[in-house]
Every structure is written in C-alpha cells, then in structure tokens.
Amino acid sequence: MAAKLLAGTPRLSSLPPCSVRFISEKTFLGGDSLIGFLPAAPGQVANERFNTIISRRLSGLEEALRIKRLRELQDNTKSRKRQPLRRGKVSGRLPVPDHILKPPYVGSNKLPELSSEYQIHDDEGIAEMRAACELSARVLDFAGTMVRPSITTDEIDKAVHNMIIDAGAYPSPLGYGGFPKSVCTSVNECMCHGIPDSRQLQDGDIINIDVTVYLNGYHGDTSKTFLCGEVDERTKKLVKVTEECLERAISVCKDGAAFKKIGKRISEIAEKHGYGVVEKFVGHGVGSVFHSEPIIMHHRNEKSGFMVEGQTFTIEPILTLGTIECVTWNDGWTTLTADGLPAAQFEHTILITKTGAEILTKH
C-alpha cells in the first residue's frame, strides 16, 4: 500500500524529471545561451561549430520524440472505449475475530504519521517478515485468479479478507486511517488506493490488487496489476514495462547502495517508453510498522541516504500512459489520473542483504 508524499516534503523540483533534463540540455548544449556571452578564443571556433551541430541534432531528436509522444496520446484518447471509472456501492466493513492480533492503529480513523523508525531486523525479525510476506504473496496470487469480466471488486475483497483471517492474520488496510476495506483494488485510471465496491470488472480492464497482511506483529506488503479479459496492446505494454521497472529497481539494491538509484533506474526505463512516473505516491519502510522511513521515491531525485543490511522496505512504482497529475475522490482515498488514461503499479517488499536484495513477497 503506497504512502502519500505529503506537501512540504523536500523534492528536487516541481517539474517532471524529463522537463528538468530538457531544460538543462537546451541551456547547456544549445550554444546560444552560453556561447553568445563567451568571448571567442583561438581554436574556439571549431568547438563552437561542433557544439552547434550537436545542439541541432539533439533539438531535432527531442522534437521528433515530442511529436511521437503527442500522437500516441491522441491515439490513446481516440481509441479508448471504456467509460470513465465511476464509484459503485461500498458494502459494510467485514468483521475480524477477537483472537486475531490487530495493528495499533485499528480503532482510530486518524491517519498514522509516517514513522521515523527504519525497519532493520535481527534474525528473528527477518523470519517473521518472511512469514508475513509469504502469506501476502499467496493471498495476492489467489486474488489474481478471481480477476475476470463480471466479478466485482467487493467479491475480491471478501475472498481476500477471509483467506487472511483463516491464516490467523489481519488485513492491514482495514481501518488504516479509516480505510473501509481489507484490500485496495485500483481499476484502469485509478493510480492506487481504490476502495472495493459493487462495480463489475469489464473485458479489457486492468486492475491493481494491493494486499498487506499483519501476521505475528509484522506487515507484508505487495501488489500486482492484472489483465481482465482482452486488454489492448498499449495498455498491456504499460503493465509489462511497469513490472520491468520494479524488477530492474530491485536489482540495484544492496547494502550501501544509495536510495536515489531506485528512482534513477525506474525513470530510465519509463522515459525510454514515453511513460510518466508518478511522484505523489512512494514506497516506504515496512515491518512491525506499516509505513515508516525511508521514503522510496520512484522518479529521479537527490534523496540522501543508503541502504543497510537487514532493512526492509517496499518499492512500488506507478507508471502512466499520460499525465502523472491526479485527482482524488471525496472518499479521501481513490486517486485517478487527471486525464483518465490508464495507470499500472507493481510492488514488492524487499530485504537488503550484503550483496543484493531478497524479494520477500516473490509470487
């Protein structure tokens, strides 16, 4: 379950990373803005000519990519047959037996603050994290088998709830900051935190199912975007690339690695395909606390800090076909892309080791 990057959190710029890079290249390589102010020196004419040639080539490539991206967005809008997502009827909160251990936030509708405590475990804690994450992965796989046209997200929620309870665990989203359900189900243009309801899945939909369980005092958090029926090729590619972004981001993680490498790797892949990387929702530390430091940014950033052996956190990039701007329904949770184009997300909880990262929620 993604943490929300609150207003006031330090960030490199309000501009998308691609815009920052574009401005930098135009200023630094364009020639006019710098060369016009520098006096000519012996031997400099050839360098200026070379810079000008490079500038023109870069400008031409950037313009070609811009036009290609614009046409793709126009095609996406024209070919979109599905109706905009609408809220269905939300059923009542499902009961949890008294003997199930519950997280400390249950019983309060107040959204817990992000804990400053990093989740670093000893051998016993690692064993407990593996157990919680293994369960969340099994539950997610089961939920995925239910995805088909005509099923409601409320039905998926009930099945997930029962499976978690039967395993002696608690569904972490239930009651977190007042969230009314046991799983998040985000369909099509819903970026994240979709509330299960009476809406039936349609042929051609995509749905992210986000499962977190609380088992023996530890949270295991994972999500995956599933295809429902026959999905169009553009959307299938978005889903595939989003999963690749997660896998490639995990590959850079190990003891001593900088957190900012995660966003850099994801952005490199997303930009290659012309996709947006959502900045507002981030990964987070997870363990005995649901959401804690470190904040894991999925876009290019200059976040300080390094990974530590024994540490657990989530990586959960959200990629979009269009804008990364979003709108949130008045339920305070359901967040959609502002342009109505699809978004996809994948998430794993990982454990940092000396030489790499262990995927605790591997399906």
> Is 193 a known ligand-binding residue?
yes
Q: Strands 312-315, 348-352: parallel, antiparallel or unpaired by DSSP?
A: antiparallel
Residue 219 labelled as part of a binding site: no
The strand pairing partners of 207, in sequence order, are 187, 226
Contact 174, 87 (CB under 8 A): no
Question: In 5-152, which ranges are continuous DSSP H helix?
Answer: 17-29, 32-35, 44-79, 123-145
Q: What are phi and psi of 241, to 5 degrees?
A: -70, -35
The reply to whether 316 sits in an annotated binding site is yes
Say whether 347 counts as a known binding-site residue: yes
Query: Residue 221 annotated as binding?
Result: yes
DSSP states of 113-163 as a string? PPB----B--HHHHHHHHHHHHHHHHHHHHHHHT--TT-BHHHHHHHHHHH
Q: What is the DSSP letter of 107?
A: T
Residue 210, annotated as binding a ligand: yes
CA–CA separation, 329 vs 19, rounded Å? 28
136 — phi, psi (to 5°)?
A: -60, -35
**Residues 255, 352: contact at Cβ < 8 Å?**
yes
Please give the annotated binding residues for a divalent metal cation, written as ranges: 210, 221, 284, 316, 347
Please give the annotated binding residues for substrate, written as ranges: 193, 291
Please give the annotated binding residues, written as ranges: 193, 210, 221, 284, 291, 316, 347
